[in-house]
Chain A
Amino acid sequence: MIKNKGYMGKILVVDLTSGEIREETLPDAVYEKHLGGLGLAAHILYARIPAGADPLGPDNMLAFVPGLLTGTGSLFTGRWMVAGKSPLTGGWGDANCGGTFAPEIKRCGYDGIFIKGISEKPVYLYVDDHTRELRDASTVWGLDTVEAEEYLETHAKEKGKKPKVVCIGPAGEKLSLISGISTDKGRMAARSGLGAVMGSKRLKAVVLSGQKRIGAHDRNEMKRLSRMCNKWVQFQPPFVTGPMTAFVGALLRVMPTVLTQDGMLYKILLKKWGTVSMNQMSPEMGDSPIKNWKGSSRDWGFRKSYSTNPDVFKNCEIVKFHCYSCPLGCGGICTMDDKYTHTHKPEYETVLSLGGFCMNQDVKGIFYLNELLNRAGMDTISAGHAVAFALECYEEGIITRKDTDGLDLTWGNAEAIVALVEKMVKREGFGHVLADGVKQAALRIGKGAEAFAVLAGGQEPAMHDSRNDPGFALHYSVEPTPGRHTLGSHLYYEMYQLWKVVKGIPKIPPMYLKGSKYKNPEKQAAIGAANSRFMTLVNCTGACLFASFLGAKRFPLFDWMNAANGWQLTPNDYMDLAGDIHTIKQSFNVKHGIEPKDCKISDRALGRPLQTEGANKGRSIDIEAMMTHYWEQFGWDGRTGKPSPETMKRLDGGV
């Protein structure tokens, strides 16, 4: 039966300890309140993971969720999320991923798959319209993510359409706290270390092959909105060459004023090159942290970043990769002449974290490491951080060749960096010290090494410099998932243009002085809160961050939600719902003993001490004031960041 709603109305709950698999029907009220995707996961996991649960123990529950809008005729809404208690931060963990897996969860009839317990032997979950079972995974345990996926695609189902697979690689099996979950042979839900949770459950993969139809209240209206959105996506003026992006970045750096950014520029760059379009632009404008957050744009100038200029990646791209329902296609498959012949086009984050962040110019090595880490199922951002951290410890003499198995860990030593990552992936020798991320590495190394660790609540932040955009500093520090670049920044807010549809939030003038971003913490916090709410909606619907750069008028998220479900809510109503979902995640953290104020990002990333040269010279962030105001925006205690006892009670008793 096809529902005239965007959701399926059911979830699947699996207990690996007992082997029980059961369906649960959820009332409409759950969707009306928590929407779907991230919101649904927060609702279920908050209630069902007991306080103090060991993230790698049987009580932790892993959720795989598509979005409320996935498969309803909307565009850019094919992303899925995995959520659970993070072994890296000890609090709420989630990771977002694209590819073609999301609609398959719904085609199997579910708005989410929730998995708890621990299996005695390695297993994988197989679901289609007739079968729901846990199967022996001994043949795929130990295989890398690409090999495992290829095997399961052909062997899990004999005939008909190919199943969709998510799986962990050896990193997850070996419980690396920076391991992720892979799909489509190299798209990763990488952050929060949830690969280790899957590994601890001895769950190698989830394999789905459903045929159910996904409903929508008014499919014609869905399509009408999609066609409007697509017009903006297809508008693509020719844009010169890759290295010219560096000049745009340099211009943004030297101008004292900023023209409020319209996301169309980023859309054009993404459509042409993908995220690698930022490889030279970001360092130039001061958006990329360099040399473990110690360096500046001066250390990674045009000549240094040239070897990773966007055209290098475009030139070896053989086919574009689109996530399900995406008209843009920022991804790609690239050829390489190495041990591996193909790889997903490396993302900006990967190129920078293994490149400029380690002062490494070897683009061939970066291609190789990208594929190596994807196959191992390890987060490239965290891996890059761990390497840079080791390089700095080596420079400072805290570790020597004796500790590093003979590797000469000097900045930019490409050979040593490759060898080190190979060791991390295998958890071999010195690689073991780094294989669980920077926090654990600092503990293992000791001798004051933690002074060089840049972290937010245990999570390595991403390749966007918070000194250049105080919004990143805020979101790195206050989010229930700290250290994320995908939840908000001042720049994102400019591009979302939310004030055009949501009432009562700050409007950004067409032009402003750069310095103004660093003042008025109250306004910055209001901007941050609106960002968090909006990104919550994006993550509830299965939407893509990059699509929201198009702006709220061109990317009709609110209208799609109404048309898909026959609801008549205003954008402000949705922003209120999102606030509650955000509060559930924060309450999850409090329930599990996290002190929100301890999640503040390390001083170095806040301009303490001040940088003496480069794009972010003299920039520092009054983060404490911003955090207080941000928390108050959600009705949380401004001093502690904890939701009030009344709020907690309301949530405990809620649907």
Chain B
Amino acid sequence: MAYFITETCNGCTSCARLCPAGAIQGEKKNRHVIDLGLCIECGACGRICPQSALQDPTGRAVQSVKKQFWAKPVFNHKTCMACGICINACPAGCLKPGEPSRKDKNAYPELADPGACLSCGFCADECPVEAVTLEAPPEAMAKAG
């Protein structure tokens, strides 16, 4: 199973530039294709595509979302075990262990590079204790009203 690019694609290359697995190939201004063996189903292509040319693995069309509204992980340090599963799950490498505090020497995860986050939700999906939730950035939401 993988994402699929329909013929609405106009070859703008945004998806290919974003795909963390390097699974998308295609010439500029030509329809792109996704390599089934490489696609990790993060859905970033669908969110970024201005043409809404992507279908998810179940065949449903994916709506594009403005990048400033993409949901990002928020960590609940009360339930988090500092196990690092989310850090390893992130295909964009944008999570890092944070600084320990004086009282608690654990390095809890934090979103170190928000610009690189793909909003894929893998971090939340793999966390065994549900300490990660994906939330739209409040500033962007406030601005948009």
Contacts and interface: CB of A to CB of B under 8 A. Distances in A.
A329 interface: yes
A168 to B, nearest CB: 24
A2 B41 contact: yes
A266 to B, nearest CB: 19
Interface in B70-85: 81-85
Interface string A222-239: 110011001001100000
Contacts of B37: 1
Contacts of A222: 128
A110 to B, nearest CB: 14
B122 to A, nearest CB: 7
A129 B128 contact: no
A327 B81 contact: yes
Contacts of A327: 81-83
Interface in A319-376: 319-320, 322, 324-327, 329, 332
Contact of B105 (A107, A230, A319): A319
A100 B84 contact: yes
Given A160-B92, A212-B40, A320-B100, A73 B105 contact: no
Contacts of A332: 105
B12 to A, nearest CB: 21
B140 interface: no
B46 interface: no
A319 B104 CA distance: 9
Contacts of B43: none
Contacts of A211: 20-21, 40, 91
A445 B18 CA distance: 63
A162 interface: yes
A139 to B, nearest CB: 24
A318 interface: yes
Contacts of A607: none
A75 B106 contact: no
Given A1-B36, A160-B92, A213-B122, A325 B2 contact: no
A129 B93 contact: no
Given A1-B37, A212-B40, A213-B40, A227 B84 contact: no
A8 to B, nearest CB: 12
Contacts of B81: 75, 230, 233-234, 327
Binding site secondary structure of chain A: loop
B22 A129 contact: yes
Interface residues of A, number: 38
Interface residues of B, number: 32
B107 interface: yes
B107 A324 contact: no
A327 B108 CA distance: 11
Contacts of A162: 93
B114 to A, nearest CB: 15
Interface in A192-244: 211-213, 219, 222-223, 226-227, 230, 233-234
Contact of A324 (B1, B83, B105): B83
Contacts of B64: none
B117 interface: no
A209 B83 CA distance: 19
Contacts of B82: 320, 322, 327, 329
A630 B82 CA distance: 40
B20 A226 contact: no
Contacts of B97: 319
A130 interface: yes
Interface string B92-130: 110001011000011100000000000000100110111
B73 to A, nearest CB: 15
Nearest to A109: B37
Given A161-B90, A320-B105, A1 B2 contact: yes
A464 B88 CA distance: 35
A103 interface: yes
A322 B83 contact: yes
Given A233-B81, A329-B82, A129 B38 contact: yes
Nearest to B85: A325
A233 B40 CA distance: 32
A162 B88 CA distance: 10
Interface string B1-17: 11000000000000000
B85 A324 contact: yes
Contacts of B129: 223, 226-227, 230
Contacts of B41: 2, 213
B21 A75 contact: no
Nearest to A106: B88
Interface of B: 1-2, 20-22, 36-38, 40-41, 81-85, 88, 90-93, 97, 99-100, 105-107, 122, 125-126, 128-130
Nearest 6 A/B pairs, CB to CB: A161-B93, A327-B81, A226-B128, A223-B128, A319-B100, A211-B91
Given A2-B41, A222-B128, A325-B85, 4 more contacts: A73-B128, A78-B84, A162-B93, A319-B106
27 contacts: A73-B85, A74-B128, A103-B88, A104-B88, A107-B88, A129-B38, A130-B22, A160-B92, A161-B90, A161-B93, A211-B91, A213-B122, A219-B125, A222-B128, A226-B128, A233-B81, A318-B100, A319-B100, A319-B107, A320-B82, A320-B105, A324-B83, A324-B84, A324-B85, A324-B88, A325-B83, A329-B106
Interface of A: 1-2, 71, 73-75, 78, 100, 103-104, 107, 129-130, 160-162, 211-213, 219, 222-223, 226-227, 230, 233-234, 317-320, 322, 324-327, 329, 332
